[in-house]
Amino acid sequence: MFGILGSDIDAARLTYFGLFALQHRGQESAGISVSDGKNITVYKDLGLVAQVFDEATLAGLSGPIAVGHTRYSTTGSNSWENSQPVFRHFGWNAIALSHNGNLTNTSQLAGTLGPLAATTDSELMTEVIAQQMSEGGLSLPEALSAALPRFEGAFTLTVMDTTTLVGVRDPRGFRPLCLGKLGESWILASETAALDILGADYVRQVAPGEMVVIDENGVTSRFPFEPAESRLCLFEFVYFARPDSILMGQTIHKTRLRMGRRLAAQAPINADITVPVPESGMPAAQGFSEASGIPYVDGLVKNRYVGRTFIEPSQSMRERGVRMKLNAMPGVISGRRVVLVDDSIVRGSTTRQLVTMVREAGATEVHLRISSPPYRWPCFYGMDTGDRSTLLAADRSLDEITSVLGADSLEYLELDHLIEATGAEPDSFCTACLSGEYPTNVPLTDSKFLLEGSI
Ligand code: AMP
């Protein structure tokens, strides 16, 4: 997500470029809302940023304040109605909201609001905030201060009304948000890579539990929540964030290199070549190769015009997606013992096909090295990894997983080593998907389509 407030700027165009740098965070839909100071206009559609927007649509979005979003659905289906920013108009003002994360009290919240045509937790939040403004006559920051404590779970937000931009991180700060500056304009973005693309300066991370209010007078900070321990998603380091983004003071690329080095020390193997699974496995494979001395070879070619297969919604599309995306090169693989390095295995369908592909390309052995621990527990905080039954490692031993994947050997980086590689304190992270330790109460059932069932 992205937000910008300046004066005399083409906020929508800058947001477009910001979203372009954040495309990896969601590929189902893209949207931008813009205010000219009096009215908010929203344009959003299913598809990639560059498919949704063109010169003509951007030309129709003029004004100095904007919020943008790329969607990867974690609540509700992949439909136009569920794309963001969510917009509400009420008499004297309007708001547009972008949400990254997933609420854990969606059904309770829905219960307090009466019948609504909302199909996502993001819409419920927008409704609560809009009600505070329209019925209570509150300003956007006041309405947020009143509404935010009612939300539980993961919610990093960028919200705007006609004159103000606000960034929020929930008290645990599951999802990141940074503050940047471009000339006199202030920027909010999920990752620092979105600042780089604009040539903007990185100012700082928005803190867990912090609400930053940006208007023509500059930035002010408030803390509307009861304090809680910070729990940034560890998977941001493993998979989500771009390698060139900075989190907790370090580039993600460096952290992933260290993960690979530790993996080589923890799980050595005799092999001829280290082959990365592009692109998410590349830094870890580089670290693995450096530490093991096993040469790094690009044995898999990625079609750079195909997105991350996993993010597409249905399993059948995902299965087809792998072959569209990756192809093995017999010329470099044939007759070799291959260490295949990737960042994670979730459902296992991609990895199984990759092992087969590498064998078909002539590898004599295929050893899997994964730079994170087994993914065993569903995420309720904004990763659509499905319920436990879909997770390959949920109830399987290492041997069973190895045999399902058809590999000669398999080792996962241990959780302690992964956390060490980040250089941060162990209790800084949410590790729920890897450890089963959820930092908040979580719904008992997977609730992705909870609200859709009720309307
Ligand atoms: P699979 O073998 O089907 O579990 O897919 C493994 C691949 O999925 C790895 O290359 C990961 O980089 C990637 N992956 C891990 N987590 C996610 C996620 N939340 N969304 C999309 N892709 C993911």
What 3 state SS string does the chain have?
A: CEEEECCCCCHHHHHHHHHHHCHHHCCCEEEEEEECCCCEEEEEEECCHHHHCCHHHHHCCCCCEEEEEEECCCCCCCCHHHCCCEEEEECCEEEEEEEECCECCHHHHHHHHCCCCCCCHHHHHHHHHHHHHHHHCCCHHHHHHHHHHHCCECCEEEEECCCCEEEEECCCCCCCCEEEEECCEEEEECCCHHHHHHCCEEEEECCCCCEEEEECCEEEEECCCCCCCCCEECHHHHHHCCCCCEECCEEHHHHHHHHHHHHHHHCCCCCCEEEECCCCCHHHHHHHHHHHCCCECCCEEECCCCCCHHHCCCHHHHHHHHHHHEEECHHHHCCCEEEEEECCCCCCHHHHHHHHHHHHCCCCEEEEEECCCCCCCCCCCCCCCCCHHHCCCCCCCHHHHHHHHCCCEEEECCHHHHHHHHCCCHHHEECHHHHCCCCCCCCCCCCCCCCHHHC
Residue 372 · residue 343 · CB < 8 Å: yes
Atom of ligand 1 nearest to the CA of 347: 4
Measured CA distances, 313 to 1, 195, 277, 308, 389 (Å): 20, 29, 21, 11, 17
- 264 has pLDDT over 90: yes
Q: What is the pLDDT of residue 387?
A: 85
Say yes or no: do domains 2-231 and 249-424 share a fold: no
For a ligand 1 pocket test, name from 28, 320, 350 the mutation site with the most ligand atoms within 8 angstroms of its C-beta: 350
Which range among 25-29, 312-316, 364-368, 438-442 shows the weakest confidence by mean pLDDT?
Answer: 312-316
Atom of ligand 1 nearest to the CA of 384: 19
CATH label, 2-231, candidates 3.40.50.300, 3.60.20.10, 3.40.228.10, 3.90.226.10: 3.60.20.10
More confident residue, 413 or 383: 413
- 211 has pLDDT over 80: yes
Q: What is the pLDDT of residue 199?
A: 98
- Tens-digit pLDDT profile for residues 97-131: 999 999 999 989 988 887 776 789 999 999 999 99
- Tens-digit pLDDT profile for residues 140-184: 999 999 999 999 999 999 999 999 999 999 999 999 999 999 999
For a ligand 1 pocket test, name from 242, 346, 383 the mutation site with the most ligand atoms within 8 angstroms of its C-beta: 346
Q: Tell me the CA–centroid distance for residue 345 and ligand 1, in Å.
A: 6
- Residue with the smallest CA separation from ligand 1 atom 11 is 344
Q: What is the pLDDT of residue 309?
A: 45
CATH 3.40.50.300 fits 249-424, yes or no: no
Ligand 1 pocket member 302 (CB < 6 A) = no
Q: What is the pLDDT of residue 181?
A: 98
Q: What is the pLDDT of residue 451?
A: 66
Q: Tell me the CA–centroid distance for residue 159 and ligand 1, in Å.
A: 30
Q: What is the pLDDT of residue 66?
A: 98
Ligand 1 pocket member 347 (CB < 6 A) = yes
Residue 124 · residue 86 · CB < 8 Å: no
- Residue with the smallest CA separation from ligand 1 atom 15 is 344
Percent of the chain, pLDDT > 70? Answer: 93
pLDDT band with cut points at 50, 70 and 90 for residue 406: very high
Q: Tell me the CA–centroid distance for residue 364 and ligand 1, in Å.
A: 25
- 88 has pLDDT over 50: yes
Which range among 113-122, 216-225, 413-422 shows the weakest confidence by mean pLDDT?
Answer: 113-122
Q: Tell me the CA–centroid distance for residue 52 and ligand 1, in Å.
A: 25
- 352 has pLDDT over 80: yes
Beta-carbon contacts of residue 99 (< 8 Å; ≥ 6 apart) = 1, 69, 84, 86, 121, 122, 125, 155, 156, 157
Q: Tell me the CA–centroid distance for residue 344 and ligand 1, in Å.
A: 6
| The two structure tokens encoding residue 97 | 């909201």
pLDDT band with cut points at 50, 70 and 90 for residue 325: confident
Ligand 1 pocket member 245 (CB < 6 A) = no
Q: What is the pLDDT of residue 310?
A: 46
Atom of ligand 1 nearest to the CA of 349: 3
Instruction: Give residue limits of the domains in the chain.
Output: 2-231, 249-424
Atom of ligand 1 nearest to the CA of 318: 3
- Residue with the smallest CA separation from ligand 1 atom 1 is 348
Q: What is the pLDDT of residue 316?
A: 60
Residue 236 · residue 247 · CB < 8 Å: yes
Average pLDDT over residues 296-316: 72
- Tens-digit pLDDT profile for residues 40-81: 999 999 999 999 999 999 999 999 999 999 998 766 677 788
